[in-house]
Amino acid sequence: MLKGKQATLSDVSRLAGCSKAVASTVLNKARGNTGVSEQMRRRVLDAAARLDYRPNFASQSLIRRSSRTVGVYISPAPWAGAGFPYEGAVLRGTEASCRKHGYDLHILNLSGDCETQVCLDNLARRRVDGILLLHAERGDPWIRQMVQRRANVVAVDYPHAEPGLDAIRFDNRMAMELAVGHLVELGHSRIGFLGSCTNPQSADAAVREEAFLHFASARGLAVRPEWVHNLQNVRQPIRREEPVCTLEGLYGIEHLLGLADRPTAVIAYGDLVAVSALQAMHNRRMDLPREMSILGVDDSEICCYVHPPLTSVRHPLEEMGRRATDLLIARAEGKTRDGAAGKAEKGIHETFEPTLAVRESTAAPFAPSAG
């Protein structure tokens, strides 16, 4: 090992007794017409180990015009950030894909409060080979600007059809079909819904509410308007800087329990809303699920740590994060969506289907004995 300075490719080639081109072929997997025997390859690797040689990242990036880095941008919101369960699940999948392909992961907006210019700057400076977008909002002009500048952008859990924007989606309608079907099969015919109470409403929550009403009707159920708690009947609109899901669950279940003719089961548009409602019912010392069945969406880790454990529709965020990253890396390397040679088409939209995780928070409706 050289003392006082970092070993260079010239040092390795000198010790191994070969040209720089041969050393580069072995150490950097350089493409070209330089053939290398197995004996020479071992001599180069041995020389590199003895000199503690490390390729220069900046030089390699310039040569291959790639940073081999994936950026993740979390749109600014009080309830968004890499430390939250939703984003954490997506990032686990992203990290697994990066590790598989030999890429680094760069979180551009760790706390969820940086402005969108950071995406444009990182793309322009080639600091990243592409960006995954979380919580992107429909119609945001900066999304269109990024797509126009460079195609290496994939939106995760983005339900809209944005021309030229690759998107990995979740089938929210099927999620409600599973939820309603499960409760109907248990014998429930009076089902409520805890929806979004912010202005504007959560896009996912709005789709789930509409789908709930559709599939309830398809099952022959009559859903009374007061059984759906949302922005129209909340006691006061919830501000985005407040603990949104906690208040939506609390206000919603208090509304339903205050009705003279209340439902026997309730679907919350998200797990955190359901958990908040569950806690409020515990505070009333209700016998669950005997007095009220409750079901959430996302199947987050918290479902197993509440009592009773929460039945939930699984939202495969980790798998979606992994697939989005695979797609982004394939496009960055000039490959098709399946990783084969050839450029991928623009505007790829893939949808992940939900599954139902049945636990102890749902049961048949209680039927009082005749005696």
pLDDT digits (tens, 9 = 90+) for 56-76: 655 555 455 567 889 888 887
CA distance 182 to 177: 9
> What mean pLDDT is predicted for residues 158-173?
86
Q: How many residues does the chain have?
A: 371
Q: Sorting pLDDT into bands at 50, 70 and 90, what band is 165?
A: confident
CATH for 69-156+317-352 (3.40.50.2300, 1.10.730.10, 2.60.40.1730, 3.40.220.10):
3.40.50.2300
How would CATH label the architecture of 172-315?
A: 3-Layer(aba) Sandwich (3.40)
pLDDT in tens, 36-54: 888 999 999 999 999 888 7
Domain 9-55 sits in CATH at 1.10.260
> What mean pLDDT is predicted for residues 277-291?
96
CA max distance for the chain: 97
Do domains 9-55 and 69-156+317-352 share one topology? The answer is no
Residue spans of the domains in the chain: they are: 9-55, 69-156+317-352, 172-315
Evaluate if pTM is beyond 0.85.
no
pLDDT in tens, 227-249: 999 999 998 889 888 999 999 99
100 against 115, higher pLDDT:
100
